[in-house]
Structure 1
Amino acid sequence: MTTDEDSSPCAGGDPYALALHTGHGPVYLRLEDGCRIRMPVHRWYAHPTVADESVLNRCVGPVLDVGCGPGRLCRALLGRGVFALGVDVTPRAAAHTIALGGIALCRSVFDRLPAEGDWQTVLLIDGNIGIGGDPRALLDRCIQLTAPTGLLLVEVDPDDVEERCTARFEDIHGHEGPPFAWARLGAPALHRIAENLDLSVTDQWRYSHRRFLALGRQDSASGPR
């Protein structure tokens, strides 16, 4: 998970940056309405879960992992012999990915990226559909990055929600990081946005409380995998 603002939490002492440094929380996402969501920091550093494996099994290389964090997914793909590049706007996240054996760039998904239009799979996992606070703009950008037959694999909120807000990271003592634009999106909202962008939902599945969808261009010959 990552933010996509110049003021994104990466400075020393920020709760999010501290969680990345230590590899454990607790750290929370505090939304505008006061809702506080605990971030699964332990999962970001652990081996892929069964739910993660369900995503990895659907990946065709080359893979771009947007908001890669410490890089557990792109590192797992490299271990399978699938080329994967992580992208994260937070320097500490990209550095951790590299230190742990992955490949990553410290860059925004909206910046110029390598091999634009050639990625077979683009990942938006761990809530990263919220990057930048505008899911439509993010999906539009990600489809620009994919090959004509490529897929976007997106993790959505398990609830039927469509929310854009300003959020902050917060530690257990209530110390806050800087604000950033964020969004939460459930499957029905993603279906609506995808249709508006001429994208088809080619697959959808869930494991426990986590829910995922695969999106492809409507004129693509690729079907469900």
Structure 2
Amino acid sequence: MSIALPLNTFGSGGAEPYAVALRRNDVVTLKLRDNDQGQASKSTMDVARWNADADEADLTLLRSVTGPVLDIGCGPGRMVRAAMDLGLVVLGVDVSPTAIEIATEAGLPVLERSVFEALPAEGQWQTALLVDGNIGIGGDVSAMLARCVELLSPTGEIVVELHDDADRNSTYVGRLVDARGGESATFPWAEIGLRPIVGIAAALGLRLVQSWELDGRTFCRIAR
């Protein structure tokens, strides 16, 4: 891979609020600074939901995909577990040692690894899954989509959970902060809506296959 790995990854370093929240089923707040406009914004990320069973929106998504499935940024393995229950071949990857530890303790097939590192079965995955905002990993949507193309089979698809603002296209330096004031190191992140991701995908030779909304969440399916 020619893509450089981010110096810091999601929620790592500092007081490790993400790791603490995973173990405590807490809600953590992702505070972001917009590099381009210098404006502060804040998103709330419910770690308790990530530790829970897949909800109906998750299951609807998974019922529409074909395996093998690569869950990128799998966290403690909610989608991995649900995919297995549906009979799909699946592997989760995440850079968080705590998330991978929790998933492994539950008997789930996961790897502690960045998506930008070498992965098993490259070029053979049928679905690359990017839910819970994980299209933002590394702060470069184009680089993430390009990496997914390398991982997928020629007929594979990328399934992305998008920002609810269809015009959103922002890159951030982010920091996780919990209710106790614990802060992570800063890390690159991105948020993107439907309209800009279609243009970015087209530049990579990809097309929008489908988009849909369910339970206040927005998704799309992208393929060659």
Normalising by structure 2, what TM-score?
A: 0.91
Report how far residue 12 of structure 1 moved: 8.2
How many positions carry a matched residue from both structures?
213
Contact 1:163/1:183 (<8 A) preserved: yes
Write the distance in 1 (CA, Å) between the matches of 2:215 and 2:89: 28
Contact 2:30/2:45 (<8 A) preserved: yes
Give runs of aligned pairs for residues 1-225 of structure 1, distance below 5 A: 5-8=6-9, 9-10=11-12, 13-22=15-24, 24-32=25-33, 33-159=39-165, 160-217=167-224
Report how far residue 13 of structure 1 moved: 3.7
Partner of 1:221: none
AA in 1 matched with 2:41 = C
AA in 2 matched with 1:104 = V
Report how far residue 26 of structure 1 moved: 2.2
Write the distance in 2 (CA, Å) between the matches of 1:13 and 1:177: 6
Report how far residue 6 of structure 1 moved: 4.6
Report how far residue 136 of structure 1 moved: 0.2
Percent of matched pairs sharing the same residue: 43
Contact 2:135/2:141 (<8 A) preserved: yes
Deviations along 1:152-172, one digit per CA (max 9) or x if unpaired, are 000000012100010000012
Write the distance in 2 (CA, Å) between the matches of 1:14 and 1:5: 17
Gaps of at least 5 residues in structure 2 are 34-38
Contact 1:75/1:101 (<8 A) preserved: no
CA RMSD of aligned residues (A): 1.4
Write the distance in 2 (CA, Å) between the matches of 1:12 and 1:177: 4
AA in 2 matched with 1:15 = P
Large movers: runs of 4+ above 2 Å: 4-13
Contact 2:30/2:174 (<8 A) preserved: yes
Deviations along 1:123-147, one digit per CA (max 9) or x if unpaired, are 0000000000000000000111000
Write the distance in 2 (CA, Å) between the matches of 1:103 and 1:136: 27
AA in 2 matched with 1:209 = G
Of 9-18 and 35-44, deviating more is: 9-18
